[in-house]
Amino acid sequence: MSAGSIYIDDGVMLGPQVGIFTVNHEPKNIRVIKTASVHIKKNAWIGARVNLLPGVTIGENAIVGTGSVVTHDIPDNTVAVGVPAKKIKKI
């Protein structure tokens, strides 16, 4: 779902069934929709069935493990996994 912008840099690899969402409802008023762009930087790897929520940036050379839900930015050269995705190591 992309009412907002999606930026995917060169060399990015996306697994199957990746969800990239740029739209969400305002929690206090579900009739209000807010958008925020998603940016996946150069050479990042996004595993199968990962969900990227509005406003996140995936850093350069970062790896996001299969099935993760990314709610916050993932720094460059980082491996992140889980729900919500958390940094487990620096590359």
Q: What is the CATH number of the domain that holds 41?
A: 2.160.10.10
The count of domains in the chain is 1
Nearest-angstrom CA–CA distance, 9 and 13: 10
Residue 1 lies in a domain: no
71, 36 contact by CB (below 8 A): no
Respond yes or no: is residue 25 known to be catalytic: yes
pLDDT in tens, the chain (91 residues): 568 899 999 999 999 999 999 999 888 998 998 999 999 999 999 999 999 999 999 999 999 999 999 999 999 999 999 999 999 999 9
Residues 11, 25, 33, 83: which is the catalytic one?
25
Residue 25 lies in a domain: yes
